[in-house]
Chains A and B, each alone.
Chain A
Amino acid sequence: MKNDPVDVLIIGAGASGAAVAWSLADTKMHILCLDQGGWMNPAEYPSTGRDWEAKFFGEWSSSPNIRRRPEDYPINDDNSPIKVVNFNAVGGSTVMYTAHWPRLHPSDFKVKTLDGVADDWPIDYDALTPFFEENDRMMGTSGLSGDPLSPLSHPPMPQQPLGLSGPLIGKAMNKLGWHWWPSDTTVATMDYEGRARCINLGHCTPACAQGAKASTDITYWPHAVRAGVELKTHCRVREILTNEHGMASGVVYYDKDGVEQFQPAEVVIIACNGVGTPRLLLNSVSGKFPNGLANSSGLVGKNLMFHPYAQIYGYVAEPTDSNRAPPTCLWSKEWYDTDLSRGFVRGYGVQFVRGAGPVFEAVVSEQKGILPWGKDHHRVFRKLNGHRIGFSAICEDLPEEHNRVTLDPVLKDGHGIPAPRIDYTISENSRKMMDHALARGREFLEAAGATDLCVNSPIPWGGWHLLGTARMGTDPARSVVNEWGRSHDVKNLFIVDGSIFVTSGGVNPTSTIQALALYIADQMKQRLANLFD
């Protein structure tokens, strides 16, 4: 079935797709977004039920392979120590994330120049500054301006309370003379733009029933839809087609009834994340593009960066926030920049762990072997439950071509579309960084008086950040898109998600992903008269 053509077709309604849709709406072009998921219903979010913790192990798992909702696609990540986690719905993985909101640092855009590794980005931090600010207003951020070791931000809402865990963390870091600061987050600490303030449901990661945590289904999308953007849900794109001129002509997708459709478009924008985007490009094979679309460089799918997480946690005598607070409230940038005396290049950010709920604590502690079976179970559980604090290092993953997304030869999704396969190893540099972080984390926990220390390094189901698989650059032989997100090979094809990252930095990337999407939309608007030149 063929539909009427649209001016702009956006694939994916998550973090970047929503931002680019909203920004382009003021052009009054006919904009259509297709998403494989649907609108979520906050009344059904886990924190509304007594089984709120159990759901995280099943239908609300962060892993699509465990969750297995019809909107999900399977991912073969057997050959990776870090498993991919995501969420597929309007809002994408902003529905299911920790809402931690640091930005990449200015130095992150000049890694080759500063440290002689990887590549510099073709743009710098200053190019993104106005879009960081605009995005913070749209998503609604909270935080404390003035962190001496972070880029200057101006969160429109005050920072989260320290709670019970914050002072324990702050005192320990002060004892060691190490940097810490209240995190910027997308948790609303006051009523904001129709969103109710945070009431500390505590189980924020698998969606916020209060609507205090920003996800693009409740931030960007209502504005974009009001401005005329059309959003079709439960539409899974199989491939992008091209015409005889080598331009994208539209997409083939399966609608909510499973009927194959063709949607013609003048411009196609991909916003499917660092796994979904290369999967789609590699599935878009034609005579002119036999190795997948936009892949003349051979780099589509390569240079996958995850951010290996090195986590260490322990138990203090004092009560902590447990499940009664958002999971993140403080960060440290003490080890963010390169110091070669540490034995590795680049660095890591730290997000502190406030605590865990009782079911999670019981299940994980039993698996770790610190919560026994039998008569001593109750005594030990009472020592652990509500007493956890932790230290999670987000280690900068450098791009390596052998870390990649390809198409699995066997595995397919519910529509018969080949699924992505991940091949990934943690580099020696990252290993050294992770070991360094664990050693610092151990010192931190000892300073806090914690015992029964446990390590997750890497966090196995920690592949939240999917970056680098369609990198940006000025050289078509060494990059997939140019410095404003347009494919080198296909002049009306754009990519706006985390796959265009050149390097990963050492922080959660969603703020930067969205700033990039807004920047690319702005570049497109400035060039509308000669967009395809």
Chain B
Amino acid sequence: MSDAKELTAVQRADLRTVAAMIVPESAEYKVPGADDPAVQADMLATLGRDTVLVAQALDHLAQLAGKPLAELDEVRRDAVAQEFRNDGGAAAATLVRVVLQCYYRDDRVLRSLGLEQRAPFPKGHVLPDGDWSLLDPVKARGGTLRRAT
């Protein structure tokens, strides 16, 4: 079982491959895949406390694949991925979460989703006040609190 503080070259290669399997590049939506170098660099730079579990997940994946993931044909790779996700437990969930949390803060991805590329603070957001006449039926219906005695 891996207890590494950083990923090996083989693990990094498999991380790229599995990241692209989770979120592939899309010309239709004009977004990179999660194997994009910038997204990958973000993952590696911010792995931190997740490193051990992600390394364990990648070791598990390598064990299932028997060789670098990228060398498997598509059918076999999908089967391995499915088995990995079904049986991989907390380590697999952590790996997927790391991929998604870095992917969905990438500027290009946020732009494609129509989201602003910034932290929430200090600008915040503006909410419409909404139509409070929707509450009229509730007011009209009324009601009483249950008595305590």
Which of A50, A170, A200 is the one whose CB lies under 8 Å from B124?
A200
Q: A153-176, CB under 8 A of B: which get 1 and which 0? A: 000000011111011001101100
Number of interface residues of B (CB under 8 A): 55
Q: Which of B46-82 contact A (CB under 8 A)?
A: 46, 48-50, 81
The answer to whether A161 touches B129 (Cβ under 8 A) is yes
- Cβ–Cβ < 8 Å partners of A148 in chain B: 138-139, 141-145
> For the complex, is A378 an interface residue (Cβ under 8 Å from B)?
yes
A526 at the A/B interface (Cβ < 8 Å)? no
Q: A161-B128, A202-B125, A325-B125 are in contact. Are A54 and B149 (CB under 8 A)?
A: no
Q: Which of A350-388 contact B (CB under 8 A)?
A: 358-359, 362-363, 366-367, 373-375, 377-378, 382, 385-386
- Separation of A92 and B146 alpha carbons in the complex (Å): 33
When distances are taken between beta carbons in the complex, the residues of chain B under 8 Å from A382 are 29, 113
Residues of A within 8 A of B121 (CB): 45, 47-48, 201, 209-210
**A167→B127 CA distance, assembly (Å):** 12
Contact for A114 among B31, B46, B115, B148, CB less than 8 A: B148
Partner of B148 from A110, A177, A180 at Cβ < 8 Å: A110
Are A109 and B105 in contact, with the CB atoms below 8 A? no
**Chain A residues whose CB sits within 8 angstroms of the CB of B113 once the complex forms:** 358, 382, 385-386
Q: Judging by beta carbons under 8 Å apart, are B148 and A170 in contact?
A: no
**Chain A interface, DSSP helix/strand/loop, else mixed:** loop
Contact with A along B116-146 (1 / 0, CB 8 A): 0011111111111111101101110111111
Residues in A whose Cβ lies below 8 Å from that of B134: 162, 167, 170-171, 174
Shortest distance in angstroms between A379's beta carbon and chain B's nearest beta carbon? Answer: 8
Q: Does B93 contact A (CB under 8 A)?
A: yes
Across-interface contacts of A164 in B (CB, < 8 A): 127-128
Q: Mark A104-117, 1 if CB is under 8 A from B, else 0.
A: 01110110011000
Check A373–B81 contact: CB distance below 8 A: yes
Q: Are A373 and B21 in contact (CB-based, < 8 A)?
A: yes
Chain B neighbourhood of A179, CB < 8 A: 138, 141, 143
A residues within 8 A CB of B122?
A: 48, 199, 209-210
Q: Nearest B residue to A166 by beta-carbon distance?
A: B130
Determine whether B44 belongs to the interface, using a CB cutoff of 8 Å to chain A. no
B22 within 8 A of A: yes
| Docked pose: A118 CA to B28 CA in angstroms | 60
Asked if A203 CB lies within 8 Å of chain B CBs, one says: yes
Instruction: Say yes or no: A378 contacts B141, CB within 8 Å.
Output: no
29 A-B interface contacts by CB (under 8 A): A47-B119, A47-B120, A49-B119, A51-B46, A51-B105, A54-B101, A59-B49, A106-B145, A148-B143, A148-B145, A160-B127, A161-B127, A162-B132, A164-B127, A164-B128, A167-B130, A167-B134, A170-B135, A179-B141, A179-B143, A180-B138, A202-B120, A210-B121, A321-B127, A323-B120, A363-B97, A366-B100, A373-B23, A375-B24
Chain A positions within 8 Å of B, measured between CB atoms, are 45, 47-54, 57-59, 105-107, 109-110, 113-114, 124-125, 146, 148-151, 160-164, 166-167, 170-171, 173-174, 177, 179-182, 198-203, 209-210, 321, 323-325, 336-338, 358-359, 362-363, 366-367, 373-375, 377-378, 382, 385-386
Q: Which 8 A-B pairs have the closest CB atoms?
A: A162-B130, A199-B124, A324-B125, A106-B148, A170-B134, A148-B143, A200-B125, A163-B127
- Give me 17 other A-B pairs in contact (C-beta within 8 A), A51-B101, A323-B120 excluded: A47-B121, A51-B105, A53-B105, A57-B101, A106-B147, A109-B148, A124-B148, A146-B139, A162-B130, A163-B130, A167-B130, A210-B124, A324-B125, A325-B125, A358-B113, A374-B22, A378-B23
